[in-house]
Structure 1
Amino acid sequence: MKNRYAVILAAGQGTRMKSKLYKVLHPVCGKPMLMHIVNEVKQLNVAEIVTIVGHGAHKVKEVIGSSVSYALQSEQLGTAHAVMQAREQLEQKKGVTLVVCGDTPLITKETMEQLIEHHKQMNAKATILTAKADNPTGYGRIIRDASSNVQRIVEEKDATAAEKQIQEINTGTYCFDNESLFSALKKVNNNNAQGEYYLPDVIEILQKQNDVVAAYQTENFEETIGVNDRVALAQAEAVMRKRINEKHMRNGVTIIDPAHTYISPDVEIGQDTVIYPGCQLNGLVYIGSECKIGPNTELLDSKVGNRTVIKQSVVTESVIGDEVTIGPFAHIRPQSVLGNQIKIGNFVEVKKSTLADRAKASHLSYIGDAEIGKDVNIGCGTITVNYDGENKFKTIIKDGAFIGCNSNLVAPVTVGERAYVAAGSTITDDVPEQALSIARSRQINKENYVKQNNNEGKS
């Protein structure tokens, strides 16, 4: 909507993470936590998202991209000061502004939409997203009057013993009338122990002006978890993983052991596919229906067709067809394309190669920079010798060819249709179609060799 805006606070250094990586770029289920928030906010149909950056600003922009605008908080002087950095983009605009922290990766578009709707219903100038915490220690408490109206937010260090017993906490996510927000921000001071400008002070300023301040309590405290250290990062990872796995199971996917299955948010899986324990599905992965994946299989940025089986193997940036069997212990490296009904067996490595339908490499082979035709059989121990130390070269094996065990195909080389390569051959020249190529030393048998050597040794 034209009158909706969002400010994402992502300028903090995150010293408690004890990491060289900027805090909001730490991954949760394979995706930077800030990206989770940006993706959810985008679904609210906001006119503009302003991300407040500070430490590591260049890296954040590189990861998040140009779908949001940025404002720099060169000095971290508090949350109110951070929001104020968006004044150039937002100060003169009418509408509703959502403010959300960049270290809350579990918050959903549904909860933020409910917050905005409650804000509109209450005709409020500010609405606080709150939650009920079983252990509210460390959080600001929401103080309400007898009519359940919000009076103020009291921080932990300033709370009385009675106030510390309150379980409704401030999550750090707010909804504001945009003009009222920027007007109040100018009145925030830093007369506090930290010498910083705090966004909750805007609430007090609005109340003193007799403006309506509301609160919307979400039923899901887990969504509001802020990630400030590695412990909280692991907690967020567990919650997100559970959420993702449950979504797939409700959509008709069997996950044998959800606690030990790791699926990124952008993965798509067809019905009646079974995911076995220990699998990691990362990045942009698409898996068709009726597949069996795992156990202990890793897929990254790949597409898998229907009724395919992948056991204890790694597939990266590749396309796999229908009714393919891979593994165990196979490695499909980037830019590989496997057609339908392919068989890739144990300890086979495929790199930057195309295999047409029904091709087979059942065990112990390396296929690199190759074009393999239909119905090709590649024997055990075959190697496409693609690298001369400086350049890579291509091997072409045409339809129906048969490559015997322990063959070396020294690229660039072509094996013609329905040709045979004898076991143990090193092929350096093209093989014509339907030919048999033998390229190995002639066998020599030395009669009585052992007997003669033994007699010499005794004399």
Structure 2
Amino acid sequence: MNVSIILAAGEGTRMKSKLPKVLHKVCGKPILEYIINASKGANVEKNVVIVGHGSEKVKEYFKEDDIIFREQPVGEGLPYGTGFAVMQGIEFMGEDSTVVVLCGDTPLIREDTIDKFIQYHEKGNYDGTVLTALLDDPTGYGRIKRDNNGHISKIIEHKDASEEERNIKEINSGIYCFNGKLLKESLSKINNNNSQGELYITDVIGILNEEGYKVGAYIVEDSMEIHGINSRVQLAFSEEIMKRRINEHHMENGVTILDPNTTYIERGVTIGSDTIIYPGVTLEGNTSIGEDCIIRSNTRITNSKIRNGVTIESSVIEDSVVEEHSTIGPNAHLRPQSHIGKRVKIGNFVEVKKSYIGDNSKAGHLAYIGDANVGKDVNIGCGVIFANYDGKNKHRTNVGDNAFIGSNSNLIAPLDIEDWAYVAAGSTIINKVNEGALSIARAPQVNKEGWVDKKGFKNIGK
């Protein structure tokens, strides 16, 4: 059985945050989620996460995931260190297990890399294997020293390395593979006789070497994958790399992204082929975009489903559905639970909230449609307000097919406007409008002739 021990107990003091480091997000997902998913994607059957600082928040976030949590004890006199953290998962180090130790702050690690790493370890019959990387500037990293057979003979920390050893470009990533039984035995032999008074997992490599076991090294193809996050600066660096990966993935699958540098697409968003994404677009959460869509600049879409052939310009869409060949914007706002039918036009400065709008209907500009069911082929004029709130409760308005709502009308909910009903411009409607009826609700116009002359307004300022 393959088991992962994911080290996620670090306090992350350099983040200067109340949030546990591993819950900070990269392209919309917590750092730790990337490592868990990569491990699962590499067919690791059992995933054990070692938590410490902010453990309750971490457990709460991942409570639906099929993972095992073990808490690292906190208290005076405890040794701490990576070796101490790995010890918290010792019960899962079985006779026939392969244990991969992963860092909970390296979101760029790929499932394919973990899979190849485990295969290299197992097929090479290694007792321990270190994931290494070749860096032009290895400053700060532990150096990998190999013997004549190419096996690891020693890991030398930067501060302890000689001038010659510091010139070694191969470094320790902090990610390991072990025979479970040997890892368990070796952990019982490490000690904290060092300047930090901590137990180090690297000491296991030394023990395996001393006892004549075979220790290998697998060089990661892309050194960016081992990049850890300890500060907001490093978080931003990982965000940039992940953003580029995501955008390249979509472009490789037939999506045109005109300016990848200014396009933000979170992990998990899906986009159909031949869709065009303009600069300055943000796609977040559980969003899916269909084929042949045009998403123009300054648009943000969150947790929404956009069907094929939709055009959206400079608009905000949240938790909503837009059906085929509709147009949204510019400067429209679809608030949560809006459902826009096929070939609908939602135009300039129109706000829709918790409403269904039927096929071929249109609201061209400056309207508020809240808590409504709008039928097919309905015209909603400029300045129309669906007045849904009485100060205490929200009420719904139902507008039938082929209805016409004239400009600057107020529809006072609860209200029914039936099929083919017409509402005259400037009306305030409080009662049901029957099918085929014209409803006019205006105060009568009064013109007072000569009023300006009587008031003497023409002489003001002379």
Is the TM-score greater than 0.5? yes
Q: Could you say what secondary structure the match of 1:82 adopts?
A: helix
Q: 2:403 aligns with which of 401, 404, 423?
A: 401
Q: Distance in 2 between matches of 1:98 and 1:92?
A: 13
Runs of 4+ in 1 over 6 A off after TM superposition: 455-458
Which residue number in structure 1 is paired with residue 81 of structure 2?
Answer: 78
- The answer as to whether partners of 2:301 and 2:318 remain within 8 angstroms in 1 is yes
Aligned residues of 2:93 and 2:99 also touching (Cα < 8 A): no
Q: How does 1:369-384 map to 2 (within 5 A)?
A: 369-384=371-386
* Equivalent in the alignment of 1:58: 56
Indicate yes or no: 2:240 matched with 1:238.
yes
The answer to whether the Cα contact below 8 Å between 2:145 and 2:154 also exists between their aligned partners in 1 is yes
| Counterpart residue identity of residue 141, structure 2 | Y
Write the distance in 2 (CA, Å) between the matches of 1:219 and 1:45: 20
Question: For 2:209, which of 203, 207, 210 is the aligned residue?
Answer: 207
* Cα shift at 1:437: 0.8
CA distances 1:254-309 after superposition (whole Å, capped 9, x unpaired):
00000111111101111100000111111111111110012111111111011100
Post-superposition offset of 1:46: 1.9
Instruction: Quote the residue 2:452 is aligned against.
Output: 450
Higher mean C-alpha deviation, range 144-153 or range 113-122: 144-153
Alignment counterpart, residue 13 of structure 2, candidates 12, 15, 19: 15
- 1:50 alignment partner, SS class: strand
Counterpart for residue 438 of structure 2: 436
Q: Give 5+ residue unaligned stretches, structure 1.
A: none
Amino acid aligned to 2:331: F
Aligned to 1:32: 30
Distance in 1, matches of 2:12 and 2:342, equals: 48
Q: Matched residue of 1:128: which SS? A: strand
* Alignment RMSD: 1.3
CA change 1:416–1:455 in 2 (3 A) is closer
Paired with 1:155 and 1:324, the residues of 2 have a C-alpha distance of 60
Residues 187-206 of structure 1, C-alpha deviations (whole Å, 9 max, x = no match): 11111111111111110011
Distance 1:210 1:399, change over 3 A: same
Q: Aligned with 1:52: secondary structure?
A: strand
SS at match of 2:376: coil
- Give the letter for the 1:114 counterpart: K
For the residue of structure 2 that corresponds to 1:195, the secondary structure is coil
- Length-normalised TM-score, structure 2: 0.96
1:149-207 CA-to-partner distances (Å, cap 9, x unmatched) read 21111111111111111111111111111111111111111111111111111100111
Question: What is the Cα deviation at residue 407 of structure 1?
Answer: 0.9
Alignment map for 1:351-362 (pairs within 5 Å): 351-362=353-364
Structure 1 residues 68 and 456, CA gap change in structure 2 (3 angstroms): closer
Aligned to 1:142: 144
Shift of 1:457: 7.3
Q: What is the CA–CA distance in structure 1 between the aligned matches of 2:321 and 2:189, rounded to whole Å? A: 58
Quote the residue 2:336 is aligned against.
334
Instruction: Give the unaligned 5+ runs of structure 2.
Output: none
Instruction: Give the 3-state SS of the residue equivalent to 1:162 in structure 2.
Output: helix
- After TM superposition, the score normalised by the length of structure 1 is 0.97
Determine the C-alpha separation between the residues in 2 that align with 1:334 and 1:426. 26
Rounded Cα–Cα distance in structure 1 between residues aligned with 2:371 and 2:95: 56
The amino acid across from 2:87 in the alignment is: M
Aligned residues: 455
Shift of 1:91: 3.3
Which letter maps to 2:168? I
My pick for the range that moved more, 61-70 or 213-222, is 61-70
C-alpha distance 417-168 of structure 1, shift in aligned 2 (>3 A): same
The equivalent position to 2:284 in structure 1, one of 278, 282, 285, is 282
| 1:190 and 2:192 correspond | yes
Identity of aligned residues (%): 52
